[in-house]
Amino acid sequence: MMTISEEYVREFAEKGLRLDKRKADEFRNVEIETGIIKSAEGSAQVRLGNTTVIAGVKMSVGEPFSDKPDEGVLMVGAELTPIADPDFEPGPPGIQSIEVARVVDRTIRESKMIDVKALKINDEAVWIVNVDLHVMNFDGNLIDAGNLAAVAALATAKMPKYEDGKVNYDERSGALPVTTMPISVTTVKINGMLIVDPTKEEENAADARLTVSVKNGGNVCSLQKGGVEGFTVEELHKALQLAGDKQENLRAALK
Amino acid sequence: MRSDGRANEELRELIVKAGVFKNAEGSAYVKMGNTVAVAGVYGPRELFPKFLQDAEKVHLKCRYNMAPFSTKDRKRPGQDRRSQEISKVVADALEPAIFTKEFPKVGIDIYIEILQGDAGTRCAGINAASVALADAGIPMRGLVAAVAAGKVDGDYVLDLTYNEEEKTKADVPVAYVPSLKKITLLQMDGDLSTEDVKNVVNIAIKGCEKIHEAQVEALKSKYAVVL
């Protein structure tokens, strides 16, 4: 069942308007703060309008996966804490948080942002990098906000020291081997109108969603479509174009 | 030339059968090369727990599951994060094709089992599920067809095998409803320019149109009236 405000969002979209008066291709204000959590090797808080996501990077040393003996391990998880929204409940991760985590994980992995081969220590030991996204306040577009937070946290992380088979978290030295910065741009379709950076209301009123993630230089590294409607080929081309245009502003916010 | 001798825009050997199980109201079998998926549909039927009931439309529940023996290394039984995500994107891929508002408050269950996996399992699952929905008599706007495409050694190639998926610059599964001309599933991991993405999606859509023909044939051969 749609709420009254969601019905408004759809009516407005028919006239090409948004409830918060943004243009179709306008992101909300983005603020990124890094190094906010001392216990983490890297951290970042991203505010995208009223959506707040914190990313923390923790590193440990473990065995490599048997099928990738020469590579370190990079994993992204996401938790939608019950603080963040009246509809979020405690308990095991629901499908929404799984999708956010997996899309951000894939984007970072496929962009080869972190050179995982450089995370090998020796034949038995590699660095294991865990990125955990903690959603603190939810107002839509978790994928873009989560991606920005994860990328900012990884880009500013300081590796702990590894000496005599032990990790020394008190001394942090070099940065992670970062090769590129993937940026996600999510477009939703509401009553035929394509808009970027949807709020919670807009997400609930939307027919379909498409996330396009772009590396430095403009190549696409991941796509994810969601929602109960389809996209035409023309709409796909428009979403690719929007991602190409919008990623630059988001990239600038990372600096 | 591809490792299995196919042309770049050629599908693997494709078999589609409608109505393969007795108990399910609709069912289908799809084989794309060495990837085998079956799907069964129950419903529309009463939906519990009650809070899932939607006063405006049917609740589509989809479960994608890989059999433990479907992969080289045994897959641990049960739903992991990957299969939960695939279940969701597959449900989203099918829903646009269904007249969901015809059945408020009830549920349709779609069960997809991957019996043998050689890449493209979600696409094979969608192809089977879509035929199973039609076989169950669910009113639909059209059939959903799906196939992955990618870029290997500079060539755009259709319907990747596992070996090709390893080598591809990107793997792009696409689901398409020919009657609506709409893309209902689109995912990608890899590294492609925007032009490449457009071209890869384009050959995937052409592949979907061919799969669609096989789906229609399968339903016709089950339901054709012999005069």
Condensed to tens digits (0 to 9), the pLDDT of residues A217-232 reads 999 999 999 999 999 9
Q: Tell me the pLDDT tens digit for each residue of A98-151.
A: 999 999 999 999 999 999 999 999 999 999 999 999 998 999 999 999 999 999
- What is the extent of the structural domain holding A155? 4-253
- pLDDT for position A172: 85
Going along chain A, which residue ranges are E strands?
A: 30-34, 42-48, 51-62, 73-80, 126-137, 158-163, 166-175, 183-190, 193-196, 208-214, 220-226
Domain count, chain A: 1
Residue B75 lies in a domain: yes
Locate A245 and state its tokens.
């245009």
Paired residues of B72 in beta bridges: none
B181 vs A contacts (CB less than 8 Å): 232-233
- Bigger pLDDT: A116 or A170? A116
State percent of chain B over pLDDT 70: 99
Q: Tell me the pLDDT tens digit for each residue of B199-218.
A: 999 999 999 999 999 999 99
Of A95, A101, A111, the CB nearest to B88: A95
- Rg of chain B over Cα atoms, rounded to whole angstroms, equals 17
| A158-163 and A183-190 strand pairing | unpaired
- Bigger pLDDT: A165 or A237? A237
State yes or no: pLDDT of B36 exceeds 80.
Answer: yes
Phi, psi of A200 (to 5 degrees): -60, -45
Q: Where are the alpha helices (DSSP H) in B46-95?
A: 81-94
CA B77 to chain centre: 21
State yes or no: pLDDT of B226 exceeds 70.
Answer: no
CB-based burial label for A86 (10 Å; 0-12, 13-18, 19+): exposed
**Average pLDDT value for residue range B134-149:** 97
**Average pLDDT value for residue range B137-144:** 97
Contact A210 B81 (CB under 8 A): no
Check the CA dihedral B128-A229-B157-A243 and report its sign.
negative
**Average pLDDT value for residue range A184-200:** 97
Cβ of A245: how many Cβ atoms within 10 Å? 12
Of B187, B190, B202, the CB nearest to A225: B187
Locate A42 and state its tokens.
């890297």
Residue B142 lies in a domain: yes
| Cβ pair B43, B107 in contact under 8 A | yes
Q: How far apart (Å, rounded) are the C-alpha atoms in residues B130 and A192?
A: 25
Residue B127 lies in a domain: yes
Residue B198 lies in a domain: yes
- What is the extent of the structural domain holding B121? 14-218
Q: What is the CATH number of the domain that holds A21?
A: 3.30.230.70
Which amino acid, residue A176?
L
Contact A229 B96 (CB under 8 A): yes
pTM of the model: 0.84
Highest mean pLDDT among A65-69, A79-83, B71-75, B90-94: B90-94
Q: What is the CATH number of the domain that holds B118?
A: 3.30.230.70
DSSP letter at B215 equals: H
| Cβ pair A225, A208 in contact under 8 A | yes
Residue B184 lies in a domain: yes
- pLDDT for position B227: 57
**Average pLDDT value for residue range B92-96:** 97
State percent of chain A over pLDDT 70: 99
**Average pLDDT value for residue range B1-11:** 92
CA atoms within 13 A on the CB side of A166: 5
Q: How far apart (Å, rounded) are the C-alpha atoms in residues B161 and B165?
A: 6
Residue B1 lies in a domain: no
CA separation, residue A223 to residues A46, A204, B56, B201 (Å): 22, 20, 30, 11
Contact B189 A219 (CB under 8 A): no
User: Shortest Cα distance from A123 to chain B (angstroms)?
Assistant: 22
Q: Is the backbone peptide bond immediately before A160 cis, with ω within 30 degrees of 0?
A: no
- pLDDT for position A164: 86
Of B56, B85, B182, the CB nearest to A232: B182
Q: How would you classify residue B82: left for phi > 0, otherwise alpha for psi between -120 and 50, otherwise beta?
A: alpha
Q: Is B198 on the interface with A (CB under 8 A)?
A: yes
Phi, psi of A137 (to 5 degrees): -145, 130
User: Shortest Cα distance from B12 to chain A (angstroms)?
Assistant: 24
Residue B90 lies in a domain: yes
Q: Is the backbone peptide bond immediately before B49 cis, with ω within 30 degrees of 0?
A: yes
Q: What is the mean pLDDT of chain B?
A: 94
- pLDDT for position B169: 86
Locate A85 and state its tokens.
């929204």
Size of interface A-B (CB pairs under 8 A): 103
| Cβ pair A236, B201 in contact under 8 A | yes
Residue B21 lies in a domain: yes
- pLDDT for position A14: 93
B192 vs A contacts (CB less than 8 Å): 219-220
CA separation, residue B8 to residues B1, B30, B207, B215 (Å): 7, 21, 11, 22
Q: pLDDT tier at B118 (50, 70, 90 boundaries)?
A: very high
Question: For an interface test with B, which of A103, A204, A228 has the most B Cβ atoms less than 10 Å from its Cβ?
Answer: A228
Q: Is B140 on the interface with A (CB under 8 A)?
A: no
Question: For an interface test with A, which of B92, B140, B143 has the most A Cβ atoms less than 10 Å from its Cβ?
Answer: B92
Domain count, chain B: 1
- Comparing alpha-carbon positions, the chain A residue that sits nearest to B85 is A99
What 3-state DSSP class applies to B76?
coil
A241 vs B contacts (CB less than 8 Å): 194
ipTM of the prediction: 0.73
State yes or no: pLDDT of A90 exceeds 80.
Answer: no
Of B155, B145, B161, B150, the closest CA to residue B207 belongs to B145
Q: Is B104 on the interface with A (CB under 8 A)?
A: no
CA B46 to chain centre: 25
Contact A109 B177 (CB under 8 A): no
User: Shortest Cα distance from B186 to chain A (angstroms)?
Assistant: 5
Q: Which helix (H) or strand (E) segment is B187 a member of?
A: strand B182-192
Q: What is the mean pLDDT of chain A?
A: 93
Q: pLDDT tier at A1 (50, 70, 90 boundaries)?
A: low
CA atoms within 13 A on the CB side of A120: 11
Contact B201 A236 (CB under 8 A): yes
Q: Tell me the pLDDT tens digit for each residue of B57-77.
A: 999 999 999 988 898 888 888
State yes or no: pLDDT of A183 exceeds 70.
Answer: yes
| A73-80 and A126-137 strand pairing | parallel
Of A98, A109, A240, the CB nearest to B85: A98
Span between the terminal Cα atoms of chain B, in Å: 45
Q: pLDDT tier at A237 (50, 70, 90 boundaries)?
A: very high
Token pair 């963040």 is found at A84
Q: Tell me the pLDDT tens digit for each residue of B163-182.
A: 998 888 899 999 999 999 99
Q: How far apart (Å, rounded) are the C-alpha atoms in residues B6 and B10?
A: 6
Contact A231 B205 (CB under 8 A): no
